[in-house]
Amino acid sequence: MVFLGLLFSLSVGMREKLPGLIRFLSSLLFCFLLLMILRLYEMRCSGELSARADQMFNNPAKKFLPENPIFSGADPHAVKFKNTFWVYPTGGRSTQFYAYYSTNLLNWERVGPVLDFKDVTWIEADGQKTHYAWAPCVLEWSGKFYFYYSVGPQNPTPSRIGVAVAGTPDGPFVDSGRPLVVGDKDFEAIDPMVFIDPVTQDRYLYAGGSAGNKMCVFALGQDMMSIVKEVKVDTPPNFTEGVFIHVYKGKYYLSYSSGGWRDSSYSVHYCISESPIGPWVYKGVILRSDEMRKGPGHHSFLYDDESGRWLIFYHRWNGVEGEGPYQGTRKVCIEEVHYNNDGTIQPIKMTGGLKEKQPGK
């Protein structure tokens, strides 16, 4: 209160020496500062100020997103287990999968490998020397964590999808001992996405793309490691690969990547349906290239119940120009997602600078 008295005295002394208009403006400024000080004092007394500071600094996931990009990688599958965010990406021309985790979305640590191809007995059964670990998907079911992954490339032998299981989200995941899905000349078995219908508890595996641009859906068994049957669905418009499905206000949102993965045409499109197997109503593009950030796609949606926000995790080529093809390393990024009143998704604007941050630093 002594501070307020000094401030008032100083203000009065200065006002006497100022012209009329400036004197009036200084009075308004003084009133504004006085109200701010009183409000801060009130918040301090009620504990609201310390509560807000605690929310800001101890739980930043409620307020902030990290500066993009968050780390190198592609095809990020994001999920939240209890109070921890997990991202499972493709790691380039690798035969290993790693995972990243964070409790606040700002600081990320890498663990793994969570799965190594050298521990999967059937991968080399096709007689090929080169294989790649692509585009995983992770889901918790009945206290276990199931890891679905792609084994590429498609040629000269078909690509395949495997499944492994672990007791914790950081693995190591133990493979089932056989491929879950094998591709053919019309279907590339890549980019698995597993979804459990919250209404019926039916379990679906979505996959496919690139070679032939065909999406297939399979009904999974109760064990989550076997196929019951293929479910006939229509491939959505402009589909290339990287399918994802989520539910918002009772509607099923099927989103996917379209275009060439190494050029600026790569983008995220989506459809809406009344069921997890269509028919799909095409709604258009929600994420596309801008001037210096190209080829955003192969994404996943995540609802953070703690902050009440929808997020999209995706990869992009950072700091490149032109239409492509691009070279180098793709980067994983996060943006907030907003819906219109009619349930459509607002176009997503990419954010963040062009300097990569390394996890744990």
Predicted confidence (pLDDT) per residue in 249-279, tens digit: 999 999 999 999 999 999 999 999 999 999 9
Angle at CA of residue 24, ends 23 and 27, nearest 5°: 90
Q: Could you tell me if residue 65 is inside a domain? A: no
Domain hosting 24: range is 2-56
Buried b (16+ CB within 10 A) or exposed e, 99-113: bbbbebbeebebebb
Residue 285: give its domain's CATH number: 2.115.10.20
Q: Is 50 helix (H, G, I), strand (E, B) or coil?
A: helix
Q: State pTM to two decimals.
A: 0.82
Which among 154, 209, 204 is positioned nearest to 184, based on CA atoms? 154
Predicted confidence (pLDDT) per residue in 332-342, tens digit: 999 999 999 99
Predicted confidence (pLDDT) per residue in 308-333, tens digit: 999 999 999 998 999 999 999 999 99
For residues 183 and 322, state if they share a domain.
yes
For residues 197 and 331, state if they share a domain.
yes
Report CA torsion sign: 73, 77, 81, 83.
positive
Token pair listed for 126 = 């096709």
> Which residues, 6 or more positions from 84, have their beta carbon under 8 angstroms from its beta carbon?
101, 102, 103, 169
| Over residues 38-47, mean pLDDT | 50
For tokens 């980067």, the residue is 331
Reported as a pLDDT band with limits 50, 70 and 90, residue 55 is: very low
Strand order in the sheet with 193-196: 193-196, 203-208, 215-220, 227-231
Predicted confidence (pLDDT) per residue in 191-226, tens digit: 999 999 999 999 999 999 876 689 999 999 999 999
For residues 227 and 301, state if they share a domain.
yes
User: Is-contact 161 151, C-beta < 8 A?
Assistant: yes
For residues 295 and 165, state if they share a domain.
yes
Q: Could you tell me if residue 347 is inside a domain? A: no
Q: Is the pLDDT of residue 62 over 60?
A: no
**Considering the chain, what is the average pLDDT of its residues?**
87
Beta strands in 122-198 (DSSP E): 132-141, 144-152, 160-166, 174-175, 181-182, 193-196
Domain count, the chain: 2
Give the pLDDT score at 347: 98
User: Is-contact 191 135, C-beta < 8 A?
Assistant: yes
Report CA torsion sign: 335, 341, 345, 347.
negative
